[in-house]
Structure 1
Amino acid sequence: MVTPERITLARKRRSLTVAELARRLDVSAQSVTNYERGRQQPSTGTLRRLALVLGFPEAFFMAPPGEEVPETAVAFRARSKLSLGKRASAVSAGVLAVEFNTWLEETFRLPEPDLPTLDHPDPETAAEMTRARWGLGNEPIPNVIHLLEAHGVRVFSLATEHSEVDAFSFWQASTPFVFLNTGKTPERSRFDAAHELGHLVMHAGARESRGPEAEQQANAFAGAFLMPESSVRARMPQAPLIDQILEGKQIWRVSALALTYRLHELDMLSDWQYRSACVELSRLGYRKGEPEGIPGETSQLLTKVFAALRENGKSVHDVAAELRLGSHDLSGMMFGLVVAAVSTRHQPQPSPPGRPRLTVV
């Protein structure tokens, strides 16, 4: 029996309208609507075409409905610039990631969520409280993704077709999720991760669409979280020169423009000095990229998950089959991690009793 909601989920994941899917299936739009509302079951031939057109195994459409992730609960960067179809596709990717996370939690003991949730805090204070709770002091953060995973945030990558989506986050029940665009520079991806952490900490109870004020708050949180005031003042001179800014960005592993903005925010650059620095950095290519940038960050948790699975003879293809997904959809969540295929000659090791505990440091 085909589950109607799974057809809708798959269609939205591929950014197709009802009319577009109907045209590709060579059926009427009314038929697709009937399939999605449970009024009519697709024939065996139509199910086969659904799987082919939408790029999901036929078994995907037989699975129970996925957990709903309301779009209003999702904090999108630049929501107004995204079409409804792009937002729906990204949210659908989130639904699949929630299902993947459920499988992970059933298989492994993952870090428990440990985030403060604060009502209407000042972003600077919220960042300081989060750092204090996690025992970070004022030191630069070596790896933001590892840090979030260690404190129970489930971090996934966005597939390449979501290039227009910067990042987004949401709480699903008591579990926080963050999705990052891997097409950006590592420095800007770190800032996106901290920005989404700001939404999770400061806007956990907000179910309405986040507006410009919430985005500004999350940006301010990210700047303070990555570049604490006391740390910046201790390491940077007043009115630093461009060369000093470029040296400083390596300390906090942020973009040159993000550090420049933070220096201006802390009154360490005047308005004129800030504008002049931005013009010079743009001339040097720092508006479009980060020359001599840092290495990209990736998931430590997922690396450990698939290393453990590989030891027991299970490949990414096996996991995708259990999730009733294509391998490309699963790989799209995993920061481009290449998981070695398991040889058929390999003798799987017996799994230990219970769920293995995974730690992220």
Structure 2
Amino acid sequence: MFNPSRLTLARERRGWTKLVLAEKTGLTARSISNFENQLDFSPSDETLQLLAETLRFPVSFFLADTLDQPTSDTASFRAMKSMSAARQHSVLAMGAFGFALDKWIDIQFEQPTADVPLMPSELPDVAALSLRHHWGLGEQPIKNVLKLLEAKGIRIYSLGNQPREVSAYALWHDGVPFVFLNYTKSAEHIRFALAHELAHLVLHRDIDPNDADARQIEREADRFASAFLMPHRDILAHAMRTPSRATLIQAKKRWGVSVTALAYRLHQLEFITDWHYRNLCIEMSKKGDRTHEPAGLPHETSSRLEKVFSALREDRISRAQIAENLHIFPSDLDELLFGLVPTVWQGEASVSSPSRAHLRVVK
């Protein structure tokens, strides 16, 4: 049976308004609205085929059960207000596909349980240090942030090939923490974004976005991320006074952060003066460091997803079959995995799906 919520989801995933979909299909905007709001008969088979082809989804997508979807009230957005409504809807729709894929993986594998304590009343710096101690990290640099968060039960998926205005968002769904990332940015930016979204998961789970100061929440998340990635004592032991841009570029490698993030942390901890920080910012801006990270690090990839899809590949479950189970095309599956599992589809085969007992458990 036709599911109207699926039509809305498909349209929003493509970033189209009802009017745009109407123009692309030759239908009227009123017909699209009626289909989505169940104010008319369901589309005929011919019309449904037209909608499916235009939106680039299998017909079966529109006949499946309703998917859970993040909302702007539950997802933590960076630069939310700068995004168009269409862009917001599109990235939120990616969350619905991420939930669906993760639910499918849960059926096949045992995934790590969440170990993400809530600290809503803690100051950001204190919460970052407390979480480090809870996870047994001490105050040493974190070699791989993505792998660490996955090991603690945080599900991380890609937002595909998005413009710079889209960074990341995080939310809790059915007791499971999720982060969705724009993986087109630098490795340093992604590490900081992961720590920033971790802050939202730890500090801001129960905050009502309609009553909250969005700028204050973002400042808290940035402060948490800085303290989490660059602990005070380790900075004290290894950072230099009055550093130049060149020395910062060398020093940033220890903490895996951007040169601008390291300069900000040094200023925050009063290792450098306002005057020195301002001059560093001017020089970094002239050199283009905010858009092109100097001496960039390699991107971190997902151990969890690589293990899952390597096991599926060895059991001869193909990319096309996984997409078929989710009622999407492989291209949309690829978007969810963009950058996270770069070589997973090599040598895939397409056969019948085995039972859970034949699949390996992710450890």
Task: Give the TM-score normalised by the residue count of structure 1.
Answer: 0.94
For residues 155 and 171 of structure 1, the distance between their equivalents in structure 2, rounded to whole angstroms, comes to 12
Of stretches 168-177 and 256-265 in structure 1, the one that deviates more from structure 2 is 168-177
- 1:202 counterpart letter in structure 2: L
- 1:6 counterpart letter in structure 2: R
Q: Deviations over 1:73-118 (max 9, x none)?
A: 1111001100111111111110111111110111110000110111
Q: Structure 1 residue 182: deviation in Å? A: 1.3
State whether residues 223 and 262 of structure 1, in contact with CA within 8 Å, keep that contact through their aligned partners in structure 2: yes
Task: Give the TM-score normalised by the residue count of structure 2.
Answer: 0.94
For residues 246 and 349 of structure 2, the distance between their equivalents in structure 1, rounded to whole angstroms, comes to 51
Distance 1:325 1:350, change over 3 A: closer
Q: Structure 1 residue 354: deviation in Å? A: 7.6
State whether residues 169 and 197 of structure 2, in contact with CA within 8 Å, keep that contact through their aligned partners in structure 1: yes
Q: Deviations over 1:177-207 (max 9, x none)?
A: 1111111111011111110001111001124
RMSD of the alignment, in Å?
A: 1.8
Of stretches 251-260 and 64-73 in structure 1, the one that deviates more from structure 2 is 64-73
- 2:49 counterpart letter in structure 1: R
Once the two structures are superposed, the pairs formed by residues 299-318 of structure 1 within 5 Å of their partners are 299-318=302-321
Q: Deviations over 1:219-257 (max 9, x none)?
A: 001100000001100111233333331221000010001
Query: Do structure 1's residue 353 and structure 2's residue 357 form an aligned pair?
Result: yes
For residues 48 and 23 of structure 1, the distance between their equivalents in structure 2, rounded to whole angstroms, comes to 16
Query: Do structure 1's residue 340 and structure 2's residue 341 form an aligned pair?
Result: no
For residues 47 and 178 of structure 2, the distance between their equivalents in structure 1, rounded to whole angstroms, comes to 35
- 1:146 counterpart letter in structure 2: K
For residues 241 and 72 of structure 1, the distance between their equivalents in structure 2, rounded to whole angstroms, comes to 42
Q: Structure 1 residue 306: deviation in Å? A: 0.6
Of stretches 303-312 and 29-38 in structure 1, the one that deviates more from structure 2 is 29-38
SS at match of 1:317: helix
Tell me which residue corresponds to 2:290.
Answer: 287
Once the two structures are superposed, the pairs formed by residues 108-257 of structure 1 within 5 Å of their partners are 108-161=109-162, 163-208=164-209, 211-257=214-260
Q: Deviations over 1:7-33 (max 9, x none)?
A: 011011111111111122211111111
State whether residues 15 and 85 of structure 1, in contact with CA within 8 Å, keep that contact through their aligned partners in structure 2: yes
Q: Deviations over 1:32-62 (max 9, x none)?
A: 1111112320011111111111111111001
State whether residues 183 and 338 of structure 2, in contact with CA within 8 Å, keep that contact through their aligned partners in structure 1: yes
State whether residues 312 and 351 of structure 1, in contact with CA within 8 Å, keep that contact through their aligned partners in structure 2: no
For residues 234 and 250 of structure 2, the distance between their equivalents in structure 1, rounded to whole angstroms, comes to 14
Query: Do structure 1's residue 53 and structure 2's residue 57 form an aligned pair?
Result: no
For residues 60 and 161 of structure 1, the distance between their equivalents in structure 2, rounded to whole angstroms, comes to 23
Structure 2: tracts of 5 or more residues without a match: none
For residues 157 and 291 of structure 1, the distance between their equivalents in structure 2, rounded to whole angstroms, comes to 24
SS at match of 1:73: coil
